[in-house]
Structure 1
Amino acid sequence: MNAQTFRDLHAGASLLVLANAWDGASAAVVQHAGAPAVATTSAGVAWSCGWPDGDRLPVAEMLAAIRRIARVVTVPLTVDIEEGCSDDPAQVADFVSSLVDTGVAGINIEDGSKAPTSLADKLRAIRARLGGRDLFINARTDVYLRGMASGDAAVEETLRRAGLYREAGADGMFVPGIAALDDIRRVATALRPMPLNVMLVPGLPSREELFGAGARRLSAGIALSLEAYATAGRMAAEFLGTKPKDIGYGTLNGLLAG
């Protein structure tokens, strides 16, 4: 499915809800559940390949994982590539070009803890490498998720970065961790017509409230993948007759640290 189809989903009469998948089977299940598009969770993809989250998954393994997902998906597919698997804009652009060759309609690419100019450079390199090929690029900023600022300062820093990323070629803005309805409204209003993507976190307003405040996309993030592994752990303990152990983000990352 092409990027324009995916782009149009952000302009519907209700919130675009994405239940993030992590491998071919989970993507097929999400699509079977009626999803209009399939998004990946970078943490879940890394875990499914035996690596911890946090830009540790080798680019060749991520590409192979996405190809397996793309094989079974017929709705638009958008892929979370963390920081692009490289600090080199040219290498990031080559990787993204390979993803587009597999039929990917969109990507998420984040600034993480790096300077915003680093992501802007990557965005420009991606657009130049793609030429006329279309791709919905969702630029993610971790201002809220990493607690870089709070209150008005968080809104202002998010919008400052959004301006850089939009100028560099981003189509949408992903702000994981933002949860206060007033902050969401202020960011979404200032971004228009660029769609705001929020992530499922405790205390997040209802879908109707999010849409009314201007958000246009809601992602599950790691929620489904983490619950799947936690459930497998509980069932394994029951079968083995051992004491169940909590499986959280840090635990799972630690188990896969190698």
Structure 2
Amino acid sequence: MPHDPGPAFRALHIPGEPFILANAWDIGSAKMLAALGAPAIATSSAAHAFTLGRPDMGQVSRDEALAHAQSLVSAVTVPVSGDFENGFGDTPEICAETVKLACEAGLAGISIEDTALPDDTPYDAALATDRIRAACAAARSLPRDFVVVARADGVMNGHYTLAEAIRRIQAYEAAGADCVYIPLPPEFDDLKTICAATALPVNALAAGDFASHDKAAFAKSGVARISLGSALARVTHRAIFDAATQMFGDDRFDKLTNAMPGDKIDALLTK
């Protein structure tokens, strides 16, 4: 990894020419994704929690997330971004501290959401904006470039409207955010509305129904980045579930015949 991964990471964010930010959950998945062409890797809070045998939503500590992120940074040569939930605390000061620690861990940037974990309720809009402002001020004080992504998760969590989410990302833009993100708006076409509402690069999530659209469709909407969240990790859990259900329910092993050859995995891990 270059000493300062920030410029290379920032340069990937081109509205209308999105790159795929591949969310990994361990060193092996990060190395495979990078070997297969991912220009940047991200952690996934949910997928990381799954590896620890925990559910999603505020179940991983900041120290654990930082150690996990640092292990991915050390494993690949592409920039790595951290999915750092709500910044691991309610106050603007904690968000600022998290940014500094993330930089020390070698990350190219992090995302911070407006959810008051472990519940899925959102912070008051003013507090949510203050948190992003503090995070961005901390990022600007760092000795190297660092990309702060501000998330408005209340639409996905069912707590506020798309109009409110847009008001929030506009406030986050004014507070200094580098990129904004409204995960899973009601309709795919809403991505165009979101992109038109801000001058910043917009992240979109390829999950659920949105995963049925190709990269060209995301590009047409104007987004600059497509992340996977925990979707790819959940694909692997689906494979485990389906194979285990067959093994322990029907005493059959057909699902294992589609396994990837070990030598191909070895080649990707040593590329």
Q: TM-score range by the shorter chain?
A: 0.7 to 0.9
So what's the TM-score if we normalise by structure 1?
A: 0.84
Deviations 1:195-241 (A, max 9, x none): 111112333343212211211111111111112123234434555x3
Q: How does 1:56-135 map to 2 (within 5 A)?
A: 56-112=59-115, 113-130=122-139, 131-132=141-142, 133-135=144-146
Tell me the amino acid that sits aligned with residue 124 of structure 1: R
Q: Which of 156, 164, 169 does residue 157 from structure 1 map onto?
A: 164
Report the equivalent of 1:224.
232
CA RMSD of aligned residues (A): 2.1
Tell me the amino acid that sits aligned with residue 224 of structure 1: L
Does the residue aligned with 1:18 lie in a helix, a strand or coil?
Answer: strand
User: 1:149: how far off?
Assistant: 4.3
Deviations 1:128-175 (A, max 9, x none): 33414321111111132123345xxx2x21221012111222111111
Q: 1:57 to 1:202 in 2, by over 3 A?
A: closer
User: 1:181: how far off?
Assistant: 4.2
**For the residues of structure 2 that align with 1:84 and 1:17, how far apart are their CA atoms?**
23
Q: How does 1:18-37 map to 2 (within 5 A)?
A: 18-37=21-40
Report the equivalent of 1:143.
154
So what's the TM-score if we normalise by structure 2?
A: 0.80
Give the length in aligned residue pairs.
Answer: 238
Report the equivalent of 1:247.
none
**For the residues of structure 2 that align with 1:63 and 1:32, how far apart are their CA atoms?**
23
- Is 1:49 aligned to residue 52 of structure 2? yes
**For the residues of structure 2 that align with 1:77 and 1:93, how far apart are their CA atoms?**
19
**For the residues of structure 1 that align with 2:234 and 2:209, how far apart are their CA atoms?**
19
The more displaced of 173-182 and 219-228 is 173-182
Report the equivalent of 2:178.
171
**For the residues of structure 1 that align with 2:6 and 2:15, how far apart are their CA atoms?**
15
For the 8 Å contact 2:84–2:112, the answer to whether it is kept is: yes
For the 8 Å contact 2:17–2:223, the answer to whether it is kept is: no
**For the residues of structure 1 that align with 2:179 and 2:97, how far apart are their CA atoms?**
21
User: 1:182: how far off?
Assistant: 3.4
For the 8 Å contact 2:206–2:226, the answer to whether it is kept is: yes
**For the residues of structure 1 that align with 2:125 and 2:15, how far apart are their CA atoms?**
30
Deviations 1:65-90 (A, max 9, x none): 11111110210111100001111222
Report the equivalent of 2:267.
none
Report sequence identity in percent. Answer: 32
**For the residues of structure 1 that align with 2:100 and 2:194, how far apart are their CA atoms?**
30
Report the equivalent of 1:214.
222
**For the residues of structure 2 that align with 1:12 and 1:125, how far apart are their CA atoms?**
25
For the 8 Å contact 1:195–1:215, the answer to whether it is kept is: yes
Q: 1:216 to 1:12 in 2, by over 3 A?
A: closer
Unmatched tracts of structure 1, length 5 or more: 245-258
Tell me the amino acid that sits aligned with residue 151 of structure 2: R
Report the equivalent of 1:195.
201
Report the equivalent of 1:250.
none
